[in-house]
Amino acid sequence: MLTVGDKCRVFCKTQWVPAKVLRVNKKTAKIYYIRSGPKFAIDVPFDKIWKGWKKPAIRKDSFGGGKADCVLSTKRIGRHRKLVEVVPTIFDPTQVMGNFGRMLNDANIRSNSVCIFNDNTNQWEFAGLHPTTRQPAGGGNAIARPWEYLGDAIGIPTGPYASLTEMKYVQFPGEDSRSLRSAKEIIDEAFKRVVRKQLANPDKDIFYYSADENDGKRLGLGIFANAVGDDVVEYHTKKLQDLPYAIQKARVTGVAP
């Protein structure tokens, strides 16, 4: 039985999407998708709702219709897996979603997702060279950094870089020493690292990142808002939007970047 405030999943087109119950009616429930918020609540029939945060367990012999037990039971692998989701979140200290510290303390959220946080160059570099070493939390969404070595978070370096052409000495995994690279090259390597992480952890099919509160898709900067160039922010935003297709390409070709 659904009750107000329950966490649930709602079948939307081809997938089960995290949601929360706002009101229960006779044959439907008013829910809102976690990433959209209560402002965009909708009525959904009970047969499209699965109570609980985890994706529903499916019977192998069940096909057709719109209920929870009508989805294929086996996980799709390789090119047959669905595209991963890249979900922007807006920080709100009163909410769980968007607050990476609270999200990462929720085992249900951690079970199938990764929080992408903004990192500085040096600690991003360290994570690549020492992936099993825990690092301390930083300011803003870098509160997620201690979870990186566990596979539940990953940093993308915003520098702070004044532009994509800014040069930094950095060492990538597998190299013997640092070399001079542009911010663009560093960001490209960072997103290759994200792709490799997903290939190694295929059940992690949702990536959350912090978005600008005035633009729901543009990467949010928080404490570094005045230190990062617009071209850097735009490039990060494009790489985030392209991430599902970069992962799918690696799945299909079998080649990790």
Residues of the chain by 3-state class (helix, strand, coil), percent to 5: 35, 25, 40
Q: Can you give the pTM of this predicted structure?
A: 0.70
Largest CA distance in the chain: 66
> Residue 32's beta-bridge partner residues?
20
Residue 5: its pLDDT value, please?
82
Residue 88: its pLDDT value, please?
96
Q: Is 86 helix (H, G, I), strand (E, B) or coil?
A: strand
Residue 151: its pLDDT value, please?
95
* 202 and 251 Cβ atoms separated by less than 8 Å: no
Residue 60: its pLDDT value, please?
35
The encoded tokens of residue 251 equal 């799945």
| Distant-in-sequence, close-in-space partners of 47: CB < 8 Å, separation ≥ 6 | 66, 67, 68
pLDDT tens digits in sequence order for the chain, 257 residues long: 778 888 888 877 667 888 888 888 878 888 888 877 777 788 888 888 887 766 555 433 332 333 333 333 334 445 557 899 999 999 998 999 999 999 999 999 999 999 999 999 999 999 999 999 999 999 999 999 999 999 999 999 999 999 999 999 999 999 999 999 999 999 999 999 999 999 999 999 999 999 999 998 999 998 788 899 999 999 999 999 999 999 999 999 989 99
> Residue 31's beta-bridge partner residues?
21, 42
Domains of the chain by start residue, with CATH: 1-53 (2.30.30.140), 81-251 (no CATH)
